[in-house]
Amino acid sequence: MIVRIENGLMDKHYHSGNTMFNVFLVLASLTTYSSAQETLISGRVMDGSNGVPLAGATVSLHDAEIVTMTDAEGHFIFDSATTKQADVRTKPPTIASAEMISFSKEGYDTVSRSINASSSNQNAVLTLSGKVTYVCTTADSRGRWQIARTIFDLASKTSEITYLTATKWWNFKPNFSPDGSQLTFFRRYAVNGPCCESWRSSICVMNANGSGVHEIIEGESSFNTEPYWSRDGSNRISFDRMNVETAGPYWNDSDGLPGAEQKLAPWGWVNPHLADGRLFIQQRAGKSFLATPRANGKARYVQIQRPDNHFIHKIALSQDETMIAYQKWIDRDHNMYKGGVMVYAKFDATTPSITDEVIFDQLDPSTMAWYVSISTDNRFLLFARDGAIMQHDVETGETIKVSADSDPYKAYPTYTTFSK
């Protein structure tokens, strides 16, 4: 049997010889074609300034000198239709043939990075040039804590604030999905005292523009906090459950229903995820681990080598997973916030280890600095200090304020360009 493919259809003709050999050749060709199609580079570009897809952005492959544009929904793909060149023999680029990718648009900062050879999906979030864009918990006119986006103009030192929630409940600790299209946060319900022994809260998900809010964890029976988004494509959100007998690290699908959550490990305080599926787990005693979740709430723990065992928290991991930042509790005469310093360091997921710590905000019990986010190029660190938002430049060592003096109280900042 000879199979001829024309316009995507198979035309069958029978031949008296070499039937099985011909079929084998066709199947091999189809497999090769399918494999090539699966590894074409594609993705989506979001506008971090308003939380919607960015149309008309330019996506470039440096080494291949090939360019394409995002469509109305921010999507792009390097295929034969979008990468036609003078040489008709040129094939669409695949993960195996590309090294660097850039995303740009006039008026926005350009994002350039090495291509992750393990994934053909390449997403990016662009933000306006000359401005610092972030989402954080922000007090509203009635003093309630809401999730809001701030665009801070570095020249005029003014803020444009857009509230993404407006509820009677307080909303905390926003964190983005890896592609920047969605946010997760926790919503506080019952409050019978100071944080956090008597608090009750849900875990929520919404689109980056504030639409489509829904709960994946109900908030009436336990305190659920510190939501982090998975990086391995499973689209799960982890969180820490407190104030109940079944306390511990849990997760649920980002579109999951309350009650479907599962315990992901027997113990520990869950923090950022890695692209390979492991999670950063912190012990209250101070030791740090990478955990690989297994069935029935079990996990394999591997201790992370660190310079010391001071308790670290409010942890952020860079997009390339080579840099880590956190608050480190070094003064036990004060609580973990006022007795802490802000630190960034090198992270090696293979060993695993944290080395070369640098304190970028010194110990000062009269202030409270906390909750850090890392920019996609690993140059800037965003953190909160006494209700204002600060940005530290790793290259120059300079720290500046990136919220206006007239801004309301702010906490828990995260860049709109990547999840923690």
The pLDDT tens digits for 110-129 are 999 888 655 678 999 999 99
Instruction: Tell me which residue range forms the domain holding 239.
Output: 131-415
Which of 126, 157, 191 finishes a domain? 126
- The answer to whether residue 420 sits within a structural domain is no
**Whether residue 145 sits in one domain with residue 97:** no
Average pLDDT rounded to a whole number, residues 242-268: 95
**Whether residue 97 sits in one domain with residue 230:** no
Q: What's the pLDDT score for residue 92?
A: 59
**Whether residue 222 sits in one domain with residue 81:** no
CA dihedral 158, 162, 165, 170 (to 10 degrees): 0
The pLDDT tens digits for 15-31 are 444 444 343 343 444 34
- pLDDT reading at 237 higher than 90: yes
Handedness of CA 74, 78, 80, 86 (dihedral sign): positive
User: How many domains is the chain partitioned into structurally?
Assistant: 3
- The answer to whether residue 345 sits within a structural domain is yes
Q: What's the pLDDT score for residue 61?
A: 87
The pLDDT tens digits for 275-305 are 999 999 999 889 999 999 999 999 999 999 9
**Whether residue 285 sits in one domain with residue 271:** yes
Q: How confident is the model at residue 33 (pLDDT cuts 50, 70, 90)?
A: very low
**Whether residue 299 sits in one domain with residue 187:** yes
Q: What's the pLDDT score for residue 81?
A: 61
**Whether residue 229 sits in one domain with residue 153:** yes
How many CB atoms lie under 10 A from the CB of residue 187? 21
**Whether residue 162 sits in one domain with residue 115:** no
- The answer to whether residue 19 sits within a structural domain is yes
**Whether residue 278 sits in one domain with residue 149:** yes
Q: What's the pLDDT score for residue 9?
A: 37
**Whether residue 371 sits in one domain with residue 242:** yes
**Whether residue 135 sits in one domain with residue 90:** no
Q: How confident is the model at residue 418 (pLDDT cuts 50, 70, 90)?
A: confident
Q: What's the CATH number where 221 sits? A: 2.120.10.30
- The answer to whether residue 324 sits within a structural domain is yes
Q: What's the pLDDT score for residue 38?
A: 46
- The answer to whether residue 213 sits within a structural domain is yes
Of residues 405 and 95, more confidence is placed in 405
Measured between alpha carbons, how far is 175 from 208 in angstroms, rounded to an integer? 10
**Whether residue 288 sits in one domain with residue 161:** yes
**Whether residue 254 sits in one domain with residue 150:** yes
Measured between alpha carbons, how far is 159 from 156 in angstroms, rounded to an integer? 9
